[in-house]
Amino acid sequence: MWARVIIGVVLVAVGVVWIGQGVGAIGGSFMTGQVVWAVIGAVTVFFGGALLLGARRARARGR
């Protein structure tokens, strides 16, 4: 379960950075201003959130 939480948090964090770079809020990368990275970031945040939600449900079921 902890692996799901850690991977989920990392995916959400990376996804937020990619969204920021994709929309141009975070500069200094080849990804800056590339909308495709904002979309990839959103998908990454979605999957990270799904992992976190699954871990939370598994923990609630275990009690």
> How many C-beta atoms surround the C-beta of residue 38 within 10 A?
19
Predicted TM-score of the model (pTM): 0.89
C-alpha distances (whole Å) from 56 to each of 11, 42, 53 are 16, 21, 5
Cβ neighbors of 26 (< 8 A, separation 6 or more) are: 17, 20, 32
pLDDT digits (tens, 9 = 90+) for 32-49: 999 999 999 999 999 999
Q: Which two tokens stand for residue 62?
A: 């275990």
What pLDDT score was predicted for residue 58?
86
